[in-house]
Amino acid sequence: MLVFTSVAVFLFSAIALVVASGFSLGAGMLVLGSMALLARRPAPFGLERQDGFLIAVLAIYFAVSIASNLIHAAPTREYDAPLRFLLAIPALLLLLAYPPRPTAFWSGLALGGIGAGLFSTWQFFVGGEMRPGGTTNPIQYGNISMVLGVLCLCGLSWAQRQPHRSFWTCILGAGMLAGLAGSLLTGSRGSWLGLPVCLIIFLMHHAGTASRRLLRGGVIAFCVALAMLWMVPQSGLKARTQLAVTEAGDYMAHGNADSSVGARLEMWRAGVAMLPGHWLLGWGKQGMLDGKAELVRQGAAAPSIEEHTHLHNEYLDALVKHGLPGLLAVLALYLAPLRLFARHLRHPDNAVRDYALAGTLLVVSYLAFGLTQAFLTHNNGVMIFAFMTVILWANLRTRMRLAVA
**In the predicted model, what is the mean pLDDT of the chain?**
91
Instruction: Read off the pTM.
Output: 0.94
pLDDT of residue 243: 86
Going by C-alpha positions, the residue among 16, 188, 236 that lies closest to residue 119 is 16
pLDDT of the residue at 320 = 97
> CA 312, 144, 203: angle at the middle one, nearest 5?
100
Burial class (CB in 10 A: 0-12, 13-18, 19+), 271: buried
- The domain limits of the chain are 1-237+315-404
Measured on CA atoms in the order 54, 58, 61, 66, is the torsion positive or negative? negative
Per-residue pLDDT tens for 96-124? 999 999 999 999 999 999 999 999 999 99
What separation in angstroms does the CA of 107 have from each of 104, 173, 331, 378, 399? 5, 11, 31, 26, 18
Residues in the chain where the model's pLDDT stays below 70: 41-44, 208-219, 222, 225, 229, 232-236, 405
Q: What is the pLDDT of residue 234?
A: 59
